[in-house]
Amino acid sequence: MTDCGCDKAKAELEEYLHDELQATDAEDIAEHIKNCTSCDSEHHVGVVLTQAVQRACKETAPEVLRDQVLARIREMQSH
C-alpha cells in the first residue's frame, strides 16, 4: 500500500464512503485516513452525514399531512 495523499483521499471520499472504489484504492484511502487527522475528521463528518441522510430517507410524513398535501394538489389541479 502507498499513502495516496490528502488530495486523492478527499477527492474520492464520497466514493470511499459508499464502497464504490476498487479494493486497492479503498485500502490506500483507509490507510491514509488512519494516519491523517485532517482526512480522518472529514471521513467522520462524511460518515455522520451519510447516516443522517439514510435515516431521513426512511422517515415518512404523518398521514394527516400527506392527506392535506394531496388535497391541496388536487385543488390546485382543478383550477
Whether this prediction's pTM lies above 0.85 is answered by: no
Q: At what angle do helices 23-35 and 37-58 cross, to 10 degrees?
A: 120
| Residue 74: how many other CB atoms lie within 10 Å | 9
Q: Where are the domains of the chain?
A: 5-77
How many residues are present in the chain?
79
- pLDDT tens, residue by residue, 10-67: 999 999 999 999 999 999 999 999 999 999 999 999 999 999 998 888 888 899 999 9
Q: What angle do CA 13, 16, 17 make, to 5 degrees?
A: 90
Residue-level pLDDT at 2? 63
3-state helix, strand, coil in the chain (%, to 5): 80, 0, 20
Question: What distance in Å separates the CA atoms of residue 28 and residue 73, rounded to the nearest whole number?
Answer: 51
